[in-house]
Structure 1
């Protein structure tokens, strides 16, 4: 689906009208292409007094080919690809002034599609109430930057646990690589928590899923098809699953990327067992399970029949629980495995006419939050992504006025693409991201809904 307004804005006449009338100005986003540098320019790395991770971060960014600059040696106005700040030394509210002193001179110097990343300590892990208060304040700072800087610049807060844990260090590197790169083009204003856990760095960061068997449900079209392509590009052996009615489209996707195609209705009583048998016989395991399959059956609650309610809850939520139970019980998701579920901003903010859908997607978030502590003991991570307005065949059917509102009501003033959701899921699937668990990452351009 083409966003004609965004295309018009890039023309000479469009640029003039946007400036004169103060219309929404969707920037051209920097999306990932294999071989691209992580950032479009040098990175300014700063730290609060007593910060604990600026040193390790500087080393890993240098090893990744990033050109680092020191705030003391950079004049105001120098063009920068990203601002990265270690705020772990901020232990009370008065120390927040250090972030102003770092950011203020360079706020207008970040290149288009640049990044701002603040590193902190999760409030629950802070030593004192004052430290927890100051660290929680960082969320307001980064979310506001995501709405202020414009030109495709995104901002994030990353809470980092003990960097002495090898899994934490590896997962922090994976997270920074994702957030700095074009893979995160449509992700902004997020809080990511990097804890402790099993994580393995790849031999090649361009193929971070080499040797991994990845199951993708709902893979025949839209986000699922884009996801299958991105996972295969990143080195995975993809098992692409969809309902028999989508068999032709599923086969086309699978054949193009060398995947295994599985036709299966996940709501069938024997579906979990049949899927487990297939994975066991053909692959021996599923290193990553991506629960992408989902449906909508929209009606206001007062007009919704029970079948619409039951179908949506069964496909979007209950089938995930049943599949997880069987695969985990049979040991088909090994230590170091990943579960990634697709939620929605409707599950965070709600949506008129979608009580069934919003309930199911909020349940997905509950699934992730409840499973994370238990699965951590088994070396398995579980996370969710929550897409906002994404340009698919489904959103193409939305009435024009609502469609335009969905596109513009976010910090990037445009809809996302299926590949944006796929890139985020792939990052969460990497073996190097094992210490990232229990997170819900919104892929919504920092939507105003639920903000």
Structure 2
């Protein structure tokens, strides 16, 4: 579905008209393309007292090839960067306001342990934000509040969430702002997450809080296989339900592009579309109704010989009515397909050892599962249940190195949203910091990050793909 307003206000005539009438002008988001550099430009570094993640950040910036400039709050950055062989300089406050000078802002707040130590946050963003270019990236790093040593440190680190979410709403121009809490001892596990949040892959993910923690008590063995950042899923097998079209097809495509062999599942009536999607990806198609009692055993049997590394629960339906007008069948079918089928499939794959150790489970929830929605009691219940599964199963799966996470899409341009009444569709598009709907690929790229071998420290997380929707938390 095309957003005609977005196209119009970004045309020469439409842009002039929007400016003269004071109309909002959503930015055309920069999304990942294989034929364009994923990382380029200047990244400004800031810090609070005693930054503790600088070594990990210097290593990351060196690996992605960006050039850094140090704000005055990051006095230790320049000598450290020089030791890592980085091209670096100093950000001059006089340069503030030079549009497009910076591609990203990165602030290490890990050492802040008291609310009296927030001044560097103000100084850094006051000086640099106006120099951040269109579709720029803001990332703040801290320590998980619940793991802090004192109430004052917990308070200070929790306050970062208000800062980051407000920055995302102030910046506009396609800029995203996200917060990453890094647990002590997990500094070496930040690369995949920071690469995602600094890249065009996260174009529609903003205002999010992600925690990185060690996934196992022991360190990975020294002979653990490395992966290619260009195809990190090479050699992996990925199961995607609801893969015939829409978001499911986009998920299958992105996972395949990253090297995975994709096994797509969809209902028998969608067999032709499923075959066409998987044929283009050199994948495999399984035609099952996941709500059928026998489906989990059938899926497990089809996967048994080679197993699977990634399971993406994307299949879902809506049957919207207010609860007073909703039939029992409409209630039950939505709960069964959107939630109970996930539980049954995972039970079968885990019990049989078909989902291998160090595997990934990613489920598709919804912002309706976070905020609720009138006329969607069945759907919102099912999607809130998905969140409950993620939160409850993460500790249980940790011993096997398996992560489980969920994405919660907001308004995504699909065949389903194209059928919405015009007023509701426009409200869904505009009620977020990006003032536009997302694309299926935005959901797919977020899932690919959570499925990444470098995301072993990210588990039990709910990540909204909603352009920082004004609905919900």
Q: TM-score, normalised by structure 2?
A: 0.92
Q: 1:13 — aligned with what? A: 13
2:30 is aligned with 1:30: yes
- CA offsets, 1:373-424, max 9 Å, x none? 1111111000000000000000000000110000000000000000000000
From 300, 310, 313, the equivalent of 2:332 is 310
What does residue range 227-246 of structure 1 map to in structure 2 within 5 Å?
A: 227-246=251-270
Greater mean alpha carbon deviation, residues 17-26 or residues 88-97: 17-26
What does residue range 112-261 of structure 1 map to in structure 2 within 5 Å?
A: 112-162=134-184, 164-165=185-186, 169-170=188-189, 172-197=190-215, 202-261=226-285
Contact 1:187 1:445 in 2 (8 A): yes
Q: For the residues of structure 1 that align with 2:140 and 2:315, how far apart are their CA atoms?
A: 34
Q: For the residues of structure 2 that align with 1:107 and 1:43, how far apart are their CA atoms?
A: 12
- CA offsets, 1:273-329, max 9 Å, x none? 110010013xx2110000000000111100000000000000000000011111111
Contact 1:202 1:431 in 2 (8 A): no
Tell me the secondary structure at the aligned position of residue 326 of structure 1. helix
Q: For the residues of structure 2 that align with 1:202 and 1:31, how far apart are their CA atoms?
A: 27
Count of residue pairs the alignment pairs up: 445
Q: 1:274 — aligned with what? A: 298
- CA offsets, 1:15-64, max 9 Å, x none? 12322333222101110012533444211122212111022111221122
Q: Check 1:337–1:357 CA distance in 2 against 1; reply closer, same or farther (3 A cut).
A: same
2:91 is aligned with 1:74: yes
Q: What CA RMSD, in Å, does the superposition of the two structures yield over aligned residues? A: 1.3
Q: 2:446 — aligned with what? A: 424
Q: Which runs of 5+ in 2 are unaligned?
A: 73-89
Contact 2:39 2:64 in 1 (8 A): no
Q: For the residues of structure 1 that align with 2:39 and 2:91, how far apart are their CA atoms?
A: 18
Greater mean alpha carbon deviation, residues 175-184 or residues 69-78: 69-78
What does residue range 334-349 of structure 1 map to in structure 2 within 5 Å?
A: 334-349=356-371
Q: For the residues of structure 2 that align with 1:2 and 1:350, how far apart are their CA atoms?
A: 26
Tell me the secondary structure at the aligned position of residue 203 of structure 1. coil
Contact 1:115 1:154 in 2 (8 A): yes
Greater mean alpha carbon deviation, residues 321-330 or residues 43-52: 43-52
Contact 2:390 2:406 in 1 (8 A): yes
Tell me the secondary structure at the aligned position of residue 65 of structure 2. coil
Q: For the residues of structure 2 that align with 1:270 and 1:324, how far apart are their CA atoms?
A: 14
What does residue range 346-365 of structure 1 map to in structure 2 within 5 Å?
A: 346-365=368-387
Q: 1:86 — aligned with what? A: 108
Q: TM-score, normalised by structure 1?
A: 0.97
Q: For the residues of structure 2 that align with 1:36 and 1:378, how far apart are their CA atoms?
A: 37
Report the Cα offset of residue 113 of structure 1: 0.6
2:353 is aligned with 1:331: yes
Tell me the secondary structure at the aligned position of residue 336 of structure 1. strand
